[in-house]
Structure 1
Amino acid sequence: MEVLKIGIMGTGRIASLLAETMVQMPEVCLYGVASRSLEKAEEFAARYSIKKAYGSYEELAADSGIQLIYIATPHSEHYSNARLCLEHGKHVLCEKSFAANYSQAKEMIDLAEEKNLMITEAMWVRYMPMAETLKEILHSGIIGEPMTLTANLAYLVSNKPRIVKPELAGGALLDVGVYTLNFASLVFGDEITEISSSVIKTDSGVDAQNSITLLYPRGKMAVLNSSVQVLSDRQGIIYGTKGFLVVENINNFESICVYDTDRKLVVTYERPQQITGYEYQVLASKAAIEQGMTECPQMPHQTTLHVMKVMDELRRQWGIRYPFEKDE
């Protein structure tokens, strides 16, 4: 496969960032875009010189010229949108959070595997070179054994309807907290022994702010905070037995600074030049498709399902259930 033909489902901010990225990538062709409004799709297509615009998701999924569809719709729609794509034989790159809950995510993955199609979660930091750099630093033993980590991510986005509406699977957890959970997963893996948490809800009943503590084997701990009401420094800090390191911006690692037992800076790793950072998940998807894989090794299905299961448990603790889940 030389150039991968890609379609985008949805025309929001993230879809625009992906389009801006892909038009600068010679490895792919941004072939089509779909919205529930043909006018919006046509405007988006004109902006990025995309060949085709569709006024329905069904038309996009049915186009035989497209191989991979990037899903950039609200969390509540990922399940039905992904099923539509898979039923039409399309590979899927699905924006995070992958689904609204574990049950939906499992069905999406099972269907992809049944049809021998690639599906992966667009958790972009997982695909970036800096994620591998972080693993290499930890493996080197320069900070000793990592025992504790903290991570926080918060943005001033509580004015956006998709963030606060329960029917759109809103809340800080699925929108930004998923990054803190993935950061912890990158460092400590997925074997969690205990989950405890606190939450502050919006008037609409979804989580506005949350604090999560995860315990792991051998006495390891992660403390994670996310919010849609405040602005945070976005740092991830990993504390080891011989020092610690600071990751600037867990949402797109800008740098990793390593400190010794005297808290003196030892070494700094800077992020390599990138288009936007979104190119890596697209290239990983292309490689997986070419190799006949149903998942990307950077974001295994097992990890996607693990994180979904953790988020289900957190929402259970908080008493948050989305309206459409009552039918599941």
Structure 2
Amino acid sequence: MIRLGIIGTGRIAKRFVYDAWQGLDVEIVGVYNPHMESAEKFCAENHVKAAYSDWNLFIHAIEAVYVASPLGTHAEYAKKALEAGIHVLCEKPMVVSGAQAEELFALADEQQCVLMEGIKTAYSPGYKKLRELLEEKPIGEIRDVEACFTKLVKPGLREWTHLEDCGSMTELGSYGCFAVLSILGEDYVESHHVSLRNENGVDIFTKVFFSYHSYATGLVKSGIGVKSEGELLISGTKGYILVKAPWWMPKCIEVHFEDANKTQKYTCEYVGNGLQYELEHFVKRIKGTQMASGVTKEQSIKIAYIMEEFLRQEKDYRIVRK
């Protein structure tokens, strides 16, 4: 039984605890928050054994950790945990600096620890089925991938107001970027984005465009103030694959051809919030019974660079706007 701790007491940490019971060889032994009152409240509400505000006590009680704290703290907590020989599952985006991502993976290798980014879609049965279908090339050569993830967030919440870790791209863009990179590869030629912003200059809807020489294109749409159809569309030379909304919780996959009578449909299991899929993968990797699939090291690093470039341009925009 792997002793797992949680860093952070927000919404995603609560969903993680809810999903973690599902027959996995892991025990959540405690939660860490530098504010003890928050840690104790989380434990009481979510039936977690122990609350910690002392880092050393927390780290000595666990073998692995799920980092679910605010984005700006991910790098620090992941690094401290890895330095202590603790395996790390980190919420997306893991970091928003390519150099930091490379540093963390190098440290994980040095410490012989597992470091894994928690983009839950990558580990779900539906996405695994999609990967199997793509290997069979039913739609010929892939020429375009479009992934959309939007949700309406009430003004005043963190995603809408906190200039350091807010906005649609950092909140939701990792999912779409993963889809494009995992299907088309990491070697795109160029990317650029356009955003719609609220009164604070925070992006509430962003499109990121990718080009792959002359053979393929990608599009990622993320929104917290604009609602759109949350589908994944993969276009090829012989047909297209549609993963119906919400594609990041994939339950229905359709393969379409010019002849509509040849349409193929697949249904896939997806239980709860889906966080148990990434946790199961994480546990198996720690035990050495699972290869490093799902979100690869290369994809995590590339996503970090994408986020870094996006935030650099956003910072420049806000400076000019002032």
Shared fold per TM-score greater than 0.5? yes
Distance 1:225 1:112 in 2: 32
1:99 is aligned to: 95
Task: Count residues with an aligned counterpart.
Answer: 318
d(CA) in 2 for partners of 1:171, 1:217: 30
Residue 222 of structure 1: SS of its match in structure 2? Answer: strand
The CA distance in 1 between the partners of 2:316 and 2:5, in whole Å, is 33
Q: Deviations over 1:197-218 (max 9, x none)?
A: 2122333333222111101145
Residue 287 to residue 120, structure 1, CA distance change in 2 (3 Å): same
Report the Cα offset of residue 134 of structure 1: 0.8
Query: Which aligned pairs between 1:1-328 and structure 2 lie closer than 5 A?
Result: 3-61=1-59, 63=60, 65-157=61-153, 159-165=155-161, 167-248=163-244, 249-264=246-261, 266-291=263-288, 296-320=292-316
Write the deviation string for residues 234-269 of structure 1: whole angstroms up to 9, x where unpaired: 101111111111112232112111111134562111
Matches of 1:158 and 1:99, distance apart in 2: 25
- Residue identity opposite 1:35 in structure 2: N
What is the one-letter code of the residue matched to 1:170? C
Tell me, in whole angstroms, the C-alpha distance in 2 between the residues paired with 1:166 and 1:320: 17
- Over the matched positions of the two proteins, sequence identity in percent amounts to 26
Q: Write the distance in 2 (CA, Å) between the matches of 1:180 and 1:201.
A: 19
Please say which of residues 41-50 and 95-104 is displaced more in the overlay: 41-50
Over the aligned positions, Cα root-mean-square deviation in angstroms equals: 2.3
1:143–1:94 distance in 2 versus 1, CA, 3 Å = same
**Is contact 2:201–2:318 with CA below 8 Å preserved after alignment?**
no
Q: Tell me, which stretches of 5 or more residues in structure 1 are unaligned? A: 324-328
Bigger mean CA deviation after superposition, 205-214 or 164-173: 164-173
Instruction: Check 1:192–1:28 CA distance in 2 against 1; reply closer, same or farther (3 A cut).
Output: same
CA distance in 1, matches of 2:141, 2:203: 33
User: Are the equivalent residues in 2 in contact too, given 1:23–1:30 (CA < 8 A)?
Assistant: no
Higher mean Cα deviation, 26-35 or 105-114? Answer: 105-114
The whole-number CA distance in structure 2 between the counterparts of 1:109 and 1:150 is 29
Shift in alpha-carbon separation, 1:108–1:30, aligned structure 2, 3 A: same
1:124 CA drift (Å) = 0.7
CA shift in 2, pair 1:269/1:220, >3 Å: same
Distance 1:56 1:296, change over 3 A: farther
The 8 Å contact of residues 181 and 307 in structure 1, kept in 2 or not, is answered as yes
Question: Match of 1:121, SS?
Answer: strand
Q: Report the 3-state secondary structure (helix = DSSP H, G, I; strand = E; otherwise coil) of the residue aligned with 2:263.
A: strand
TM-score scaled by length of structure 1: 0.89
Q: Distance in 1 between matches of 2:260 and 2:302?
A: 34
Offset of residue 55 of structure 1:
2.6
CA distance in 2, matches of 1:273, 1:287: 19
For residue 318 of structure 1, report the CA deviation from its aligned partner: 4.2
Q: Which amino acid aligns with 2:4?
A: I
Which ranges in structure 2 are unaligned for 5 or more consecutive residues? none
Q: Distance in 1 between matches of 2:81 and 2:263?
A: 48
